[in-house]
């Protein structure tokens, strides 16, 4: 189980917001290669995912929440891509972890694959093989319910959306749940490549609810660049991989900093 902390997810402290110019770009080629790998594995393993199992996990997770007075979570296709991609990556690498060998975590996957989403992601993973009989969705959900960290993600009151992956490999199932507190949506999926900060601002310009300011950070990082208004003046930002960090303009988390898509600049 992993979830971004409240500080890093939606409420960066004043020190980060008042320290412009300290953020650093990540390697563009490393992120481009990871994105290509994820999308390639989604295509290669399409027939190995069990859609009925995935729907059952979503339904059972919602029933668990509703029994405790919490709202159900809406399915999100971008989160589904992130969940399936990581399940396929675990099957490929045999590294059963939230972090890949290169150091990519849930924020990177959601930022690369959920291209219209502004919010804070979290992730559950499970792997199961029964001594007899096929693995069932209630067994995976039961593992998560009895694990404190996984249970916290299932019952997080602020989460609004979720999606699940269930990858079958013979008698074994690799399951991934991805959750998010979605604060805003872009009008269209953001392009992965951008030539300038102005192009990133254009992708954000018709977000709903409206977002007027943003920063950039290293993907998954807390240290921000300077704050940009909706139509920034031309600025010099080093090329590389950056994560959009919108400053929320309305709603419950007004004036806080969320997570958005990853861009490769330059």
Check if the beta carbon of residue 148 is closer than 8 Å to that of residue 260. no
Check if the beta carbon of residue 138 is closer than 8 Å to that of residue 94. no
pLDDT, tens only, 154-213: 999 999 999 999 999 999 999 999 999 999 999 999 999 999 888 999 999 889 999 989
pLDDT of 236 reads 72
pLDDT averaged over the chain? 88
Q: In this model, does residue 216 exceed pLDDT 50?
A: yes
Determine how many CB atoms are found less than 10 A away from the CB of residue 7.
12
Instruction: Name which residue leads in pLDDT, 164 or 18.
Output: 164
Q: In this model, does residue 15 exceed pLDDT 70?
A: no
pLDDT of 136 reads 97
pLDDT of 233 reads 62
pLDDT of 250 reads 74
Q: In this model, does residue 10 exceed pLDDT 80?
A: no
C-alpha dihedral sign at 54, 59, 63, 66: positive
Check if the beta carbon of residue 207 is closer than 8 Å to that of residue 184. yes
pLDDT of 22 reads 64
Q: Could you give the percent of the chain with pLDDT greater than 90?
A: 71
Q: Could you tell me the pTM of the whole model? A: 0.88
pLDDT, tens only, 131-160: 889 999 999 999 999 999 999 999 999 999
Check if the beta carbon of residue 204 is closer than 8 Å to that of residue 214. yes
Determine how many CB atoms are found less than 10 A away from the CB of residue 17.
15
DSSP the chain: -EE--HHHHH---HHHHT-TT---PBPHHHHHHHHHHHHHHHHHTGGGB-HHHHHHHHHHHHHHHHTTTPPPPEE-HHHHHHHHHHHHHHHHH---SSS-TT---HHHHHHHH-TTEEEEEEEEEEEEE-SSS---HHHHHHHHHTSHHHHHHHT-TT--EEEEEEEEETTEEEEEEEEEEEEEE-SSPPPSEESSHHHHHHHHTT-BS---EEEEESTT---B---EESSPPP----SEEEEEEEE--SSTTTT-B-B--EEEE-
Distance CA 78, CA 3 (A): 17
Q: Helices 137-145 and 51-66 meet at what angle, rounded to 10?
A: 40
């Amino acid at each position: 189980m992993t979830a971004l902390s409240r500080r890093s997810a939606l409420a960066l402290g004043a020190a980060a917001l008042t320290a412009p110019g300290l953020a650093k770009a990540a390697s563009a080629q490393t992120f481009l290669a990871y994105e290509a790998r994820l999308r390639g594995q989604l295509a290669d393993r399409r027939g190995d995912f069990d859609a009925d199992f995935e729907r059952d996990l979503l339904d059972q997770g919602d029933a668990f929440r509703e029994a405790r007075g919490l709202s159900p979570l809406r399915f999100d296709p971008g989160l589904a891509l992130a969940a399936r991609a990581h399940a396929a990556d675990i099957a490929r690498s045999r590294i059963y972890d939230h972090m890949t060998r290169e150091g990519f975590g849930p924020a990177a996957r959601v930022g690369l694959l959920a291209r219209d989403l502004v919010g804070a992601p979290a992730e559950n993973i499970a792997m199961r093989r029964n001594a007899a009989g096929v693995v069932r969705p209630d067994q995976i959900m039961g593992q998560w319910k009895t694990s404190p960290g996984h249970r916290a993600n299932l019952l997080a009151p602020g989460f609004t959306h979720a999606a699940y992956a269930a990858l079958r490999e013979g008698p074994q199932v690799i399951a991934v749940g991805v959750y998010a507190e979605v604060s805003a949506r872009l009008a269209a999926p953001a392009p992965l490549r951008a030539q300038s900060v102005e192009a990133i601002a254009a992708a954000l310009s018709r977000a709903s609810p409206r977002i007027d300011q943003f920063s950039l950070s290293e993907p998954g990082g807390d240290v921000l660049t300077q704050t940009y208004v909706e139509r920034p003046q031309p600025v010099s930002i080093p090329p590389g991989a950056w994560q959009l960090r919108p400053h929320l303009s309305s709603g419950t988390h007004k004036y806080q900093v969320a997570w958005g898509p990853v861009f490769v600049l330059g």
